[in-house]
Amino acid sequence: MIDIKRNRYLDPIAEEWLSNVKKFFNTTRRPYIIQGAKRKYFNSYASKLRYECLSEIFNNTNDKKQRKVYVTLLYYWWKHIDNIILGSPDYLETLVTRWDNKKNGSIILQKILKDILTSYYDKISGEYGLDLVNKLNIKTCPYCNRQFIYTFKGQSYERPELDHFYSKATYPLLCLSFYNLIPACHSCNHVKLEEKLGLSPYSRAFNTKFAIIDKSGTRLTKSKIFRLTENEIKLDFYACDAKEDVNIRVLGLKEVYNKHTDYVKELVDKSMAYDAHARNVLVESFQSVGYHPRQVYDFVWGRYLMEAKYEDRPLSKLTKDILDLLDISRG
């Protein structure tokens, strides 16, 4: 729903994420695995990961040709790890489409290595996830624009959850890809589960608009909206493209936004009192203390109703779309 890249330059944040991932794998440590009654030590997590992946391949198949295919593919991934971690949303979509269409060795090998790869995501996100979401500094969930996702410290640090746009269970190779990590609220992250969405918040914002409809699904005009009770208000989306429609369905956005009809009714009632006379009175009052007439709109309806500021307040897109339906503008 919200475009993450709109208000921030992401390349330095992505590069720092890559740097942290490499630091985790290449810094000299003493990780180990248990083999029988003994510990086998490694000089870094990179060498441990390589050993675990090769061992899993050899344990999974006795076919020498198939082993060779998997090992070749594994080394190809290692060679191109920077591209995988920094790949753009379009690049990731291309990879996933290729894997889905061919059901080739890439998907099979990812299934074989899933537990290993995702275990390292858990370690790295635990070490650097807080820094990542702080650098992104996204205030509301980009999937729904309904909840704040601040980072704060109580007894411990609380941060937004990091959703994998492409599920780490299905595509574990992408579990550390920067543009696959979406800071999200608990509700969206958990209602989505492993399903694939259509539109990434790193790609663009929703073009779809909110509408108020009647029982037959017809969009209502302003005059009819004014006569509705709270229980009669029903929200829907219109002008959806295919990708947005998938997000709306998977995230249950239509259902969850219809929990906010009390807020919509409040907007409608307030708009009925905000006629030309009321606005002129407010303008005169605000001008007397040095405010511009346009700031009256901000004080009455909120300061975050331009698309560039939607992410700063929950329900800001809903608010702006409803005000547009009611012919209330900032001009």
89 and 174 co-located in one domain: yes
| pLDDT score of 50 | 93
166 and 219 co-located in one domain: no
Cα distance between residue 146 and residue 153, in whole Å: 22
157 and 225 co-located in one domain: no
Domain boundary among 192, 225, 250: 192
- The parent domain of residue 147 ranges over 4-192
In a domain, 331, yes or no: no
175 and 270 co-located in one domain: no
11 and 139 co-located in one domain: yes
| pLDDT score of 297 | 83
Cβ–Cβ under 8 Å, residues 163 and 21: no
| pLDDT score of 36 | 82
What tokens appear for 25 in the block? 């794998």
Task: Count CA within 13 A, CB hemisphere, residue 206.
Answer: 25
Nearest to 233 by CA among 256, 209, 212: 212
97 and 131 co-located in one domain: yes
In a domain, 197, yes or no: no
Q: Along the 331 residues of the chain, how does pLDDT read in single tens digits? A: 888 877 678 999 999 999 999 999 988 778 888 888 888 999 999 999 999 999 999 999 899 999 999 999 999 999 999 999 999 999 999 999 988 876 667 888 999 999 999 999 999 999 999 999 999 999 999 999 999 998 887 777 788 999 999 999 999 999 999 999 999 999 999 999 889 999 999 998 888 999 999 888 899 988 899 999 999 999 999 888 999 999 999 999 999 999 999 999 999 999 888 877 888 888 888 888 888 877 888 888 888 888 889 999 999 999 999 999 998 887 6
Domain boundary among 136, 157, 192: 192
In a domain, 100, yes or no: yes
How would you write the chain as a 3-class SS string?
CCCHHHHCCCHHHHHHHHHHHHHHHHCCCCCEEEECCEEEECCCHHHHHHHHHHHHHHHHCCCHHHHHHHHHHHHHHHHCHHHHHHCCHHHHHHHHHHHHHHCCHHHHHHHHHHHHHHHHHHHHHHHHHHHHHHHHCCCECCCCCCCECCCEECCCEECCEEEECCCCCCCHHHCCCHHHEEEECHHHHHHHCCCCCCCCCCCCCCCCEEEEECCCCCECCHHHHCCCCHHHCCEEEECCCHHHHHHHHHCCHHHHHHHHHHHHHHHHHHHHHCCHHHHHHHHHHHHCCCCCCHHHHHHHHCCCCCHHHHHHCCCHHHHHHHHHHCCCCCC
| pLDDT score of 103 | 64
In a domain, 198, yes or no: no
133 and 225 co-located in one domain: no
126 and 256 co-located in one domain: no
226 and 152 co-located in one domain: no
256 and 176 co-located in one domain: no
In a domain, 204, yes or no: no
232 and 173 co-located in one domain: no
In a domain, 213, yes or no: yes
| pLDDT score of 130 | 93
In a domain, 202, yes or no: no
Cα distance between residue 91 and residue 77, in whole Å: 15
267 and 230 co-located in one domain: yes
Cα distance between residue 87 and residue 212, in whole Å: 39
In a domain, 284, yes or no: yes
Domain boundary among 192, 219, 242: 192
Domain count within the chain: 2
**Ramachandran assignment for 239, one of left (phi > 0), alpha (psi -120 to 50 degrees), beta (any other):** left
Model confidence pTM above 0.75: yes
